[in-house]
Amino acid sequence: MNANPNVEHLLRTLAPRVLGTTARRFRDFGLAEDATQEALIAAAIQWPRDGVPASPLAWLVRAAHRRMIDILRTQEARSRREAVVAVAADAAAPEVDDEQRARNEDILGLLFMCIHPALSMSSAIALTLRAVGGLTTAEIASVFLVPESTMAQRISRAKATIRASGVPFTPLEPSRVPPLDAVLNVLYLIFNEGYTASTGSQLQRPDLTQEAIRIARLLRDALPASPDVSGLLALMLLTDARRNARTGPRGELVPLDEQDRSRWDRGRIEEGAALIELSLQRGRPGFYAVLAAIAAVHDQAPSTEATDWPQICALYDVLERIAPSPTVKLNRAVAIAMVRGPEHGLAILDALSDDRRLASHHRLPAVRAHFLAMRGDYPQAAEAFAHAATLTRSTPERDYLLLKAARLRGGST
């Protein structure tokens, strides 16, 4: 898009809403995305020149709907769609107040359509990141560590599968809600990509984290009795509360132990803590509730040294029982090292070194470097930090790791 940064940000924010509204009205996901993209391109050209309209969302919806009508009229099966076209052509584009009522259903409907039973989990996640999260194909390819061309084919196949399924795009119905674990997993991935971007010059993408939080709130409104939904929303809020303190004045990464905790968002911490208490009261804690409890311990501590690390160890023990994974083991190693010393943490890392899922991830050598520095082995720590820097595609993370290596080589910790 040839838009200025402000217009581009606005279009990225509105794109999922336009797609949701268009897909709901015309009941064709693939064509709705095509029409939405053309509307966004038109806006990117016209708005910088003519000014942003008073109702950007209504402008985009009208443009997408007009394009849908043109597309449908040129289809060979036009006769079967004439009724839909006629209804859509007669319907005025929604005003802002009217759109607010349907917007929640549109976004949730779009989310649930992307988590389609005919799709593999990886395809469902990719499609949701594209349609709901607003990521580009290149950004999604980076998340999955595959070439952009491979991801483009995967997304195209996913859209074709949904189109061929004939599943209508309708408002939220309990009988059509996909497995909740899949929905929550997708939202968590969108949030994580926003909180720590996997590639690029910016550490964070607040537009993605805020969109994930917004959708999680909508999902909780739709499923208020679900402790897992409350747990995920709590985790997002407690994590996002640190956002303002995670970068310095030049966008550089500031690690947790060096952050100015007075800049943390206390309102989000209080809201997240209340949600996690509610979630834990409703039964056995799930994956997101335990992660949220860990985040709450960090957020409520006045400093790294004063953090209740034994409690965090205990929570990771629970997490390893209910949802074992290499990432959980790696994070647990950090907590154990803080309680028992770096040698105990290094022993856990040695057991993880052969895990292929962590072999190419920068966090494994970065954590090892941290433990080596804790025990005073600065030359090896510097080497490990430098190696970790070669594995990340994030410029702020790479710069931070290289700076750590340089300081250790210079005799400073």
Does residue 239 carry a pLDDT above 60? yes
Question: Residue 61: how many CB atoms within 10 A of its CB?
Answer: 22
**Average pLDDT for 308-327:** 95
DSSP designation for 6:
H
Q: For residue 110, what pLDDT band results from cuts at 50, 70 and 90? A: confident
pLDDT digits 0-9 by tens, 172-212: 455 555 678 888 988 998 899 889 988 888 999 888 898 88
Q: What is the dihedral of CA 244, 245, 248, 251, to 10 degrees?
A: -50
- DSSP code for 253: B
Band (25; pLDDT cuts 50, 70, 90): confident
Give the residue carrying structure tokens 């950007």: 56
134: left (phi over 0), alpha (psi -120 to 50) or beta: left
Q: How confident is the model at residue 221 (pLDDT cuts 50, 70, 90)?
A: confident
pLDDT, position 247: 96
The per-residue pLDDT for range 351-371, each reduced to its tens digit, is 998 888 888 889 999 999 999
C-alpha 64/C-alpha 45 separation (Å) is 15
Of 395, 372, 399, 377, the closest CA to residue 386 belongs to 399
pLDDT of the residue at 174: 52
Mean pLDDT in residue range 33-38: 86
> What is the residue-averaged pLDDT of the chain?
84
Q: For residues 335 and 370, is the Cβ–Cβ distance under 8 A?
A: no
Assessment of whether the complete model's pTM goes beyond 0.85: no
Cα 349 from Cα 374, distance rounded (Å): 15
* Cβ-contact 291, 314 below 8 angstroms: no
- Residue recorded with tokens 């300081």: 407
End-to-end Cα separation, the chain, in angstroms: 44
Structure tokens at 98: 């009217």
Rounded Cα–Cα distance for residues 351 and 329 (Å): 10
The string of pLDDT tens digits covering residues 117-135 is: 778 878 888 888 888 777 7
What average pLDDT score do residues 380-406 get? 96
User: At residue 227, does pLDDT exceed 60?
Assistant: yes
CB-CB contact of 185 with 167 (8 Å)? no
Give me the domains of the chain, ranges plus CATH numbers.
Answer: 334-413 (1.25.40)
Is the per-residue pLDDT at 142 higher than 80?
no
- Give percent helix, percent strand, percent coil of the chain, each to the nearest 5: 75, 0, 25
pLDDT per position as a tens digit, 46-101? 898 888 998 888 899 999 988 888 877 766 444 444 444 444 444 444 444 454 44
